[in-house]
Amino acid sequence: MKIELEVPDDLVDGKVLWLFAGSNHIGVKRPDDDWAIKDGHCSMCGRCCMASHIRKMGLPIKDGYCANLRDHPEEEGKKMCGFGANRPFLCSIGHPKFIPECTVTWRRANGE
């Protein structure tokens, strides 16, 4: 999908732009950088829900994971967030580089 927008400079100068498809973070544009686009999807393993930011956000912890993490009702071994579409912003933009098995990958929009 190709998206083109004309946005007034004074609304975006010096700001980070976030692109979402529902609650799925699919792109980010930082000032003076190209767009980064998600090209590897989440496998829904739930490992990023044990990150330190969960504690910092004040979310409850259960067995080392966010207490809102649930077993997926239809897919064995997969997890889902109990918040659904109301998942907190910081959880949606996490980049779990500390998880070697993570299937989320990013590429530069210019192909680099």
Q: What domain range includes position 71?
A: 9-108
The structure tokens listed for 91 are 């959880």
% pLDDT > 90, the chain: 31
Alpha helices in the chain (DSSP H): 9-12, 52-56, 89-92
Residue 4 lies in a domain: no
Residue 2 lies in a domain: no
Residue 111: per-residue pLDDT? 65
Looking up tokens 């490992």 gives: 47
Residue 95: per-residue pLDDT? 63
Residue 112: per-residue pLDDT? 58
What does the buried/exposed string (b/e) look like for 95-105 if buried means 16 or more CB atoms within 10 Å of the residue's CB?
ebeeeeebebe
Is 97's pLDDT higher than 80? Answer: no
d(CA 31, CA 19): 14
Residue 25 lies in a domain: yes
Residue 1 lies in a domain: no
Residue 16: per-residue pLDDT? 95
Looking up tokens 């686009």 gives: 37
Quote the number of domains for the chain.
1
Is 20's pLDDT higher than 70? Answer: yes
Residue 84 lies in a domain: yes
Residue 30 lies in a domain: yes
d(CA 76, CA 79): 9
Residue 35 lies in a domain: yes
Residue 11: per-residue pLDDT? 95
Residue 109: per-residue pLDDT? 86
